[in-house]
Chain A
Amino acid sequence: MTARHPRTPAPLLVIGQRFLTQLLIGQRPRRTGSLWPSFHSRWPRWKWVSFLFILPRRRRSPRPQSGMKVRPVLSDPEKQRGRSAAVAIAALVIAAGIPLWWKTTETYRAWLPAARIGELEALQLELRVEVEVVFARGTLSPEQQKKVPASRMREQTYESCCKSKSLCLVEADHALHTLTETSCGSVVIYIIPEASALLPQDMRVYVGRSRTALLRSQVASVVGAGLPEVLAALDPQMEQVLQTMSFNHQDVTAALTDRLRPGLSTRDSLADSMRAFKSSPGYEITFSLLNPDPKHHQLHWDVEAALDAYIYPLLHKMAPVANFSVDSQILYYAVLGVNPRYDASASAYTLSADSLAHVINPVEARLGSNAASSNPVLNFLLYVPDSLHSPLIIRNDQKQEVASNAFHSPRWGGIMVYNVDGAYGNDTQFPVDIAIDMSRVMGVFLSQLRLMLGFQQTGAPPGFVLEAAGREGVAEWELDRLLWSRSVENVATASASITSLAQLLDQIANIVINDNIAQQVASAVTALQAAVAELEAGNLALALEHSREAISASERAFFDPSLLHLLYFPDDQKFAIYIPLFLPMCVPILLSLLKIFREVQQHRAEKRAKRD
C-alpha cells in the first residue's frame, strides 16, 4: 500500500494507514476515543513525516561500512546446526511429503476384474440345439429296428377322418405336439414313411406351429443299418430343417455385426438387421388413428378389444425378450404431407412408391412419445382418407396395386390406408358413423410388428411347407429363432461394451471408478459367462435371461454419468500447476543439500590431503 521504510517500527503503520485513508476518501474522521490523536486536529500532515526521524529505530545488525561485503559470520556449531536442519527438512519432505502428496492427489479407482474381461475379448460361442428324432412306424426296417436302441417306444394311434389335406396336417401336428414336451430351443423331428399321404406329393418337410417338424424320408434302404448310419443318412435333411427352425449362419453373423468386420454379412441379412430394432430392454408401441376429415367421417375403432385379441398374445409370448408398453391415440385434422394423384383408369387417388418416403416426416411431428423412458418407439398409423381424396390406393414400383394398402419404414413402424368410401353413398347425412374392421387392420399391423421385432420374412426352402402363424401371431419355432439371435446379439453387445469400457478406463488414468461401476461390471461379466455356458448346454430360456442381465448391467456401467472424462490435462498444464507450488520450496532445499554435499566432499579431500 504505502511505500514503507523498512526500519519503521510497527505503531507508525497505524497512523500511516489512517493518513492514507484520509487521502483516499477525502474525509475528515470524527473524533473517536482512540489512543492516537487525530492529526487533523493537531498538526498539519507534513509534520507527521518528521516523526519518522524522531522515534527510535531498532538496529538488528551493525551498520556495514562501505566497501565491505555483508555476510553473517557463523561459528562451527552454528554451521553444524544449519546443516542438520537442512538435512532434516529434506528428509521430511522426501519421506513424508512426497508420499502424502501422491496419496492425496490419487483418483479413486475401484478394482475391475481385468483378467476375466481379457478373456471376453476372445469369445468363443458354442450353440447347442437339442434335437429329438422320432421314427414313425414303417420308416425303419425290422433289422434296423432291432439294432437301433429304443430309448422310448410309444404306441399311439391317431385316427381321424379328414376331408382336406391341410386341416389334416394341422390336426396331426397338434396331436403330435401333445406327445412330447419340448423345452425352449429344442426341436423334435418326426420321420414319417415315404409313402405317407399326410404330406402333399412334392413336399418333403412340414414345419408346424410348435417346435415339431414332419420329415418324409426312406431310411429302410440304408445299408449297414446301425444308429450312426441311419442318422448319417438323415443328416443333410435334418440340417436343413434345423437351419430353418433354429438358426443358420446368416442369422448368427447378422447378430454379431457389432463385433465382426463389415462386409461379412449378406445384403439380405443386413436389410433384415436394418429393419428390426436392436435389442433393448423395452419397447413402446403406439397405435394412432388419423382422421383428417371429422366433418364427414365419424370413426369408431375398438382398439382395446383388438389389442387384447390380436396383439397382446404376441407381446406376452415375447415377454422374456423385452418389456412392452402399448398406447393408442386418435389425431384429428392430421394430413399426409404428400398430395395424391388422381388416376382416372382406376378412378381412385394413388400414392406412388417414391412419394411414400416423404409421408412420414410431417406426421411424425404430431405424434407424441412417452417422455418418461428412452425406449425405442414403434408407431402404427391407420389413415382414413378424407372424402375428397377417397379411395386412396398405394402403388408399388411396378405400378401395381398393393393388396394390403400399407407400407412400413424400418425401425419406425407402419402406416395403413383404410378406405371407407364404400360405406356410404352420396346423399347420406354427414358426419357418417363408420366402424372400422379391426381384424383386417390388425392383420396388417401384426405382420408389420413381426417384421419390426425381428421375425424375418424367411422364404421357405424348396420342398418345405411352413405353417402360417395365424391368430397366435408367432409360431414357437419362430420365437425360438428370435431368441437364438437375440441371445447371441446380447452376448456380443455386452462383451463389446465391457471390453471397450475396460480399455477406456485403462487409457485414461484420471477417471474415477466408483464402487457401483465396478460392481456392475463384475455382475455383467458373471452373467455373460453364465449365458455362454447356458448356450453351450442348450438351455435357451436361461441363456436369454442371463444375456439380458448381462446387457443391462453392461449398459448401466458404460453409460454411468460419473464416467465423464472432463479431466483432460495435457502434460504441460500439469507442470504449470505444480511448478509455482513446489519450485520455491524445493529450490532452497536442493541448493542447501548440494552445498552440504560439496562441503563434505571438500572436507574429505582435505582429510585425504592431510593424511598424505
Chain B
Amino acid sequence: TARPCMLISSSVALDFVLIGRTSAFLLLHQARAERFFRSDHTNNWAVLVCTSRFWFNYRHVANTLSVYRSVKRLGIPDSHIVLMLADDMACNHRNPKPATVFSHKNMELNVYGDDVEVDYRGYEVTVENFLRVLTGRLPPSTPRSKRLLSDDHSNILIYLTGHGGNGFLKFQDSEEISNVELADAFEQMWQKRRYNELLFIIDTCQGASMYERFYSPNLMALASSQVGEDSLSHQPDLAIGVHLMDRYTFYLLEFLEDIHPASQANMNDLFKVCPKSQCVSTPGHRTDLFQRDPGSVLITDFFGSVRKVEITMETINLTVPGIPLERFGGEPHTETALAYVDQLPVAQIIHQKPKQKDWHPPDGFILGLWTLILLVFFRTYGIKHLKHIF
C-alpha cells in the first residue's frame, strides 16, 4: 500500500476564487438563505444607562425606564438587558406616589411596572462599571445578569441619558466619561467582535459631541441635540413636582408605542422623531460608519428581538425496535418516591385539634404560688383551720 500525504495550505491574505455549487436543492437553500440574510444578527442586547441622581433628575430615570419598557415589550428578555439606574426614584422619600415612575403628566403611564429588573443601581453606576460592562473586563465573580454576553452576531442598543456637555457625559455628579473613552471602548468591542451592529442613542445636552469621535465600523448614532444646544425637558407634573421626561425621549417613546414585533418601520422613521418644532433642539444622527443603508434597517433589529427560525428538516431515526435502552455508564438507580418537606405545619398553626401534651409534674412556680396562697390563708384566718385540711 502506498502512503501519500496530501498538503493543503491556505494563506490568510490571498483572495480565492470560489467554486460554485450546482446541486439540485440550491433553490431551496437560496430561499432559506435570503430570509437569513436580511440582517446578520441572531440575538439582541440592550444597555440602558441613566447617569444622574437626585430627585430633580427624575426625568432621566423616567427616560431610561420608558426605553426599557419599549424594549421589553418588543421582545428582548431581561437576561439580555443591562439596566443601570443611578438613583431610585420609585422608592424615593420625596415621591408622592411610591413605587411608580410616570412618564406622562396626569400620571397616565407608569413605566416602573411590576417586573423591572435593575442590574446596576445607585452608586454602582460609575464610568468604570459602564466601561467594564461594554468591554467585558468584569471580575470573575460578576453574575450573569450584570454581564454583556454578546457575540459576533448580536445587535446591541445603547441608550445614555443624563447631563452632558461638549465631549463629556456626567456620571453621578462626580465623574465624567469623555467621547474619546467611549470611542475607544467601542473599538475594543469591535476588536473582539462583541457586536454585529450597534445603535447608540444619547439624550443629553450637546449630545452630538459624544458620537463625533467614533471610528469603529457598524455603528449608528442618534443624539437629541447638536453641539452648543441644550436638550430640554418636557412637562412638569404638578403633583409630583418635577419634570417627568425629556422631550426627545418623550417623542421617541410615543413613536415606539406604535411599533409591534412584526412592524416594518425602518431607521429613516426614527431619524424623523422629534423635529426642531417639537424638540426645540435639533436631533442629529450619524450613519457613515454603518454598512447597511438605514432605510433597510428595521426598528425591531435593535429595539426588538425577532429571532431567525428554521424548520428542522432532518431527524435522526433512533427508534430501533427490539433494542432496549442501554445505560451509558452508571447502574440504573431505583426510583424513590420524593416528597416535599412540610413547609408550613398548618395543623399546628390553625389548631384544629388540641395537641396531646405529656403531663409534667407542677414546676417550681406553681408550687411556690400555691404555698404562698396557703400561707396567706392560714395567716389571715388562723392556724386552727389547718387540721380540717389534713
Enumerate chain A interface residues (CB-CB to B < 8 A): 122-135, 148-154, 227, 230-231, 238-239, 242, 247, 249-250, 252-253, 256, 258-260, 264, 266-268, 270-271, 274-275, 278, 305-306, 308-310, 312-313, 316, 353, 356-361, 364-365, 369-374, 376, 394, 396-397, 402-404, 406-412, 414, 416, 437, 439-440, 442-444, 446-448, 457, 459, 461-462, 468-471, 473, 496-497, 500, 504, 538, 558-561, 563-566, 568, 570
Contact = CB atoms under 8 A, between A and B. Distances in A.
B75 interface: yes
Given A278-B151, A394-B311, A566-B131, A305 B325 contact: yes
A253 to B, nearest CB: 7
Contacts of B6: 128-129, 131, 238-239, 242
B139 A150 contact: no
B77 A132 contact: no
20 contacts: A134-B1, A151-B1, A154-B1, A239-B6, A242-B6, A268-B21, A361-B261, A364-B77, A369-B144, A373-B144, A404-B314, A407-B309, A439-B318, A447-B316, A461-B23, A559-B135, A560-B137, A561-B137, A566-B128, A570-B180
Given A274-B36, A305-B325, A411 B42 contact: yes
B239 to A, nearest CB: 33
A252 B311 contact: no
B311 A127 contact: no
A538 B8 CA distance: 11
A123 B184 contact: no
A310 B36 contact: no
A276 to B, nearest CB: 11
A124 to B, nearest CB: 5
A558 B32 contact: no
Contact of A404 (B76, B147, B313, B326): B313
A275 B33 CA distance: 12
B43 A412 contact: yes
Given A563-B137, A564-B135, A365 B78 contact: yes
B327 A308 contact: yes
A67 B177 CA distance: 59
B334 to A, nearest CB: 13
A522 B147 CA distance: 27
Contacts of A570: 178, 180
Contacts of A260: 12
A419 to B, nearest CB: 16
Contact of A439 (B76, B127, B319): B319
B310 A407 contact: yes
Interface stretch (B187-195, B219-227, B272-280, B281-289): B187-195
B104 interface: no
Given A125-B11, A310-B318, 4 more contacts: A278-B151, A409-B308, A439-B318, A568-B180
Nearest to A354: B262
A227 B3 CA distance: 10
B329 interface: yes
Given A124-B9, A358-B75, A561-B138, A133 B2 contact: yes
Interface in B124-150: 127-128, 131-132, 135-139, 143-145, 147, 149
Q: Is the interface of A mostly helix, strand, loop or mixed?
A: mixed
B340 interface: no
| 3 nearest A-B residue pairs (beta carbon) | A361-B75, A500-B191, A443-B318
Interface string B313-346: 1111111100001111110100000000000000
A245 to B, nearest CB: 12
Contacts of A309: 325-328
Interface in B289-320: 305-320
B390 interface: no
B262 A135 contact: no
B144 A371 contact: yes
Contact of A564 (B5, B43, B137): B137
Q: Is the interface of B mostly helix, strand, loop or mixed?
A: loop
A122 B16 CA distance: 17
Interface of B: 1-13, 15-16, 18-19, 21, 23, 25, 29, 31-33, 36-37, 40, 42-43, 75-79, 127-128, 131-132, 135-139, 143-145, 147, 149, 151-153, 178, 180-181, 184, 188, 191-193, 261-262, 305-320, 325-330, 332
A440 to B, nearest CB: 6
Interface centre among A357, A397, A403 (most CB of B within 10 A): A357
A2 to B, nearest CB: 36
Contacts of A258: 152, 193
Contacts of A129: 5-6, 8
B12 A256 contact: yes
B13 to A, nearest CB: 8
A275 B151 CA distance: 12
Contacts of A127: 8-10
A538 B37 CA distance: 36
A274 B40 contact: yes
A131 B149 contact: no
Nearest to B20: A266
B150 to A, nearest CB: 11
A500 B312 CA distance: 39
A247 B10 CA distance: 12
Nearest to A247: B8
Nearest to B167: A570
Contacts of A397: 31
Nearest to A257: B152
A471 B318 contact: yes
A510 B1 CA distance: 63
A559 B305 CA distance: 27
A558 B42 contact: no
